[in-house]
Structure 1
Amino acid sequence: MKLATPFAVLAIASSLAAGTALAKDTITVGVTPGAHEEILEEVQKLAKEQGLDVEIATFSDYVVPNQALNDGDLDLNSFQHVPYLDNQVADRGYDLKAVGKTIITPMGIYSNKVESVDDIPENSRVAIPNDPTNGGRALLLLQAKGVIKLADGAGLKATPLDIVDNPKNIDILELDAAQLPRVLNDVSVAAINTNYALDAGFNPIEDSIAIESPDSPYANVIVARTEDADADWVKQFVEIYQSNEIRSFIENTYGGAVVPVF
């Protein structure tokens, strides 16, 4: 009988490990509340019919889902746009990769006090998300609506320090994105991500006083650990998410406030 060499044993073990990764039939996917969670619940039903069990883990902020995925506590997440992912990978050293596009949720400006951005009072407070990419996104939206002007080249990572023209002398208040709907009575306006706006009961099309163009660069993505990016179960999940059934659900449910980009 011929004995396997240590190298052969290692090759067999590696092959078995890879086969196990490709044969996963239960996965845990991290999301944030609102549209991401609601869409994933529909994906969960469709996946079940195809033999893939999807467990949903809902997080109240944008920071933990990437850490949990990188640490192996999740198999995938679906909550973030590409600039945010790129920033997290660069700043925190995560080994994560986008594996499929999902939706774009145009950021809106909301207010309990004014009906137009033109009516924002002088010396008032304006709340934006406190993470770098969504904060920059909010500032770009405020610039697009004529509230402020940013320095040339500020780009997607603009900060309040990049404001070069502030005709109404507004005070930018940076807060956790999930808190923004709850501070509308305390500020003049707030720039709120659509998932948190929907979760707070707002209709972004009807209730915002200004909204981002749907052709912005902030497409949301499904994210995996780089080592799993080509696994069969990842491809299966992405195909289910990007199916005609899920596209129809998004279009029929959100009326343009959430737009499929697949």
Structure 2
Amino acid sequence: MKKITKTLIGAILTAGILGSFASCSKKESVVVKLGITGAAEEDIWQPAIASLKKEGIDIQLVQFSDYVAPSRALEDGDIELHACLSRVFFDSEVKSHNYHIQLIGNTLFSPLKLYSNKIKSISELKPGDVIAIPNEATNEGRALKLLDNAGVIKLKAGAGDNPTMDDIESIPTGVKFTLLAANLVPSTLVDVTAAIINGNYALDFGIDPKTAVASETKPATFYWNLIAARSAELSNKKKVQLYDKIVKAFQTQETIDVFNNQYGGFFSPVGWEIDELAAYK
């Protein structure tokens, strides 16, 4: 009986020591909430998420239905990062709302495209036809530049990089416009002649990018998509190291493989050679 008791006590002590060692040696995950828009972004981030998980970094994606909410959530501390805006839209939000958030890495270029269920080419447009375009300041500007390049409208000489409706000099095609929030534009395709739709929303609606009537072509720097963080966090070296790992985990061949294999090259990498966090390391 004494031998059995000693054996049991020994087993209990051993289990307790091993359990204690295991709990001490187990590395706790660092949770990072990252804002995105659109289902495609979930797929695009999967390789980085899997890679970072091995390092104890748990990326939790937070979906937003529009482009305005992510920066507000980042400013308020509801998320740690977001990766869903173009530079020009992001800069506009920061300036308009005096946000204390900034660029920490570059991700991809996602072109705006003109889609239609009624025409196959720009030459088929008739006076009175209606084109839906996004009404957010920077997306509206991108849409107008696309239409200018396609010959649908003619912008004034000094319109700049972010034109508005007031910068239209003439409309040779005689078309009209309806302006809506970017996430609502795809649903208008059944009613309007054509619509300019952001890439992630087009994909969410099952629209094949190859069917586009016209498209942005050159990925100008201000249209690059980015990863953003709160400015105050960049004074913390540990945070900078963490964010640097996240940026680098995204900027890999595995991400490009998702661009190409799942989305037919609809997205393209941009600015990966630039270390946006260099000044903070």
TM-score normalised by L of structure 2: 0.81
Within 5 Å, which residues of 2 pair with 1:1-262?
25-204=30-209, 206-217=210-221, 218-229=223-234, 231-261=240-270, 262=272
SS of the equivalent of 2:161 reads: helix
Q: Give the count of matched residue pairs.
A: 239
TM-superposed CA distance for 1:159, in Å, is 1.0
TM-superposed CA distance for 1:61, in Å, is 0.5
- The answer as to whether partners of 2:156 and 2:169 remain within 8 angstroms in 1 is yes
Structure of higher CA gyration radius: 2
Segments of structure 1 that go 5 or more residues without pairing to the other structure are 1-22
Worse overlay, 113-122 or 133-142: 113-122
Segments of structure 2 that go 5 or more residues without pairing to the other structure are 1-27, 273-281
Question: Which deviations, in whole Å up to 9, do the C-alpha atoms of 1:50-79 show, x marking residues without a partner?
Answer: 210011100110110000001100100000
TM-superposed CA distance for 1:24, in Å, is 8.1
Instruction: State, as a whole percentage, how many aligned pairs show the same letter.
Output: 36
* Partner Cα distance (2:148, 2:71) in 1: 29
- The answer as to whether partners of 1:160 and 1:172 remain within 8 angstroms in 2 is no
Question: Which deviations, in whole Å up to 9, do the C-alpha atoms of 1:129-182 show, x marking residues without a partner?
Answer: 110001100000000000001112212321111110112222221101011111
TM-superposed CA distance for 1:247, in Å, is 2.4
- The answer as to whether partners of 1:105 and 1:194 remain within 8 angstroms in 2 is yes
